[in-house]
Every structure is written in C-alpha cells, then in structure tokens.
Amino acid sequence: MHGMMSKTEGVSSMSETVDGITKSVDVEEIENGFIVTINKYGIKPSKEGCSECDGEYINETKRFYSKENPLNKEEEKEDKERDMSREDVFTIIDML
C-alpha cells in the first residue's frame, strides 16, 4: 500500500506509511479554493532496537489553504502560477 491515491467527490487524498507512521493528505474543495489537510499519525518507535518498549503515539494535523489542488496532476500549469504543488505537499509532510 504505497502512495495510494483515491478520489471521492470534491476530495482527493493520498497516504503513505513508513515505519509505522502514516502521513496522509486530504484535499477538499471549497468555494474559493482548496483546504489541504496533512495528517501524521501512528506509533513512534521508542528506542532503537527495543521492541518491548512502548512507542509514543502521535497524531498531528496541519491545514493549509491552496488556490489549486496540489494533488491534481491534470492541471499542471506553470510552476510559478501554482500555489502549492504536489512536491510542496511532500516537502511539508517530510518536515513533520
């Protein structure tokens, strides 16, 4: 299940899970643009090589406004015109 992409009416989303941490992006269409919700959740591995130790549960959400759907590939415009691209979203996710 790597980088799965699904689409429902008005909402695009994708998620990836690495080392027990899931990072998902949901893009919801609103009247004047899009709300990009980035969610990071899962069990943070505690100490290296300590499987019995309790990992820490994390759940973080960040929300952004974007003029365009950053997950929408069909509307690739000039990068300059785009508010947020797919790459921007991944950059933000990686910073989380």
Q: Which residue has the higher pLDDT, 93 or 27?
A: 27
Counting the structural domains of the chain, the total is: 1
- In residues, how long is the chain? 96
Q: 71-86 pLDDT, tens per residue?
A: 876 655 555 555 667 7
pLDDT at 87 over 80: no
Coil vs helix vs strand at 83: coil
Residue 8 is part of which domain span? Answer: 4-95
Q: What is the pLDDT of residue 92?
A: 75
Q: What is the pLDDT of residue 11?
A: 79
From CA 87, how far away is CA 84, in angstroms rounded?
Answer: 8
3-state secondary structure string, 14-79? EEEEECCEEEEEEEEEECCEEEEEEEEEEEECCCCCCCCCCCEEEEEEEEEEECCCCCCCCCCCCC
Using pLDDT thresholds of 50, 70 and 90, give the confidence band for residue 20.
confident
What is the layout of strands, in order, in the sheet containing 33-44? 4-8, 11-18, 21-30, 33-44, 56-66
Residue type (1 letter), 92: I
Q: What percent of the chain has pLDDT over 70?
A: 70
pLDDT at 49 over 70: no
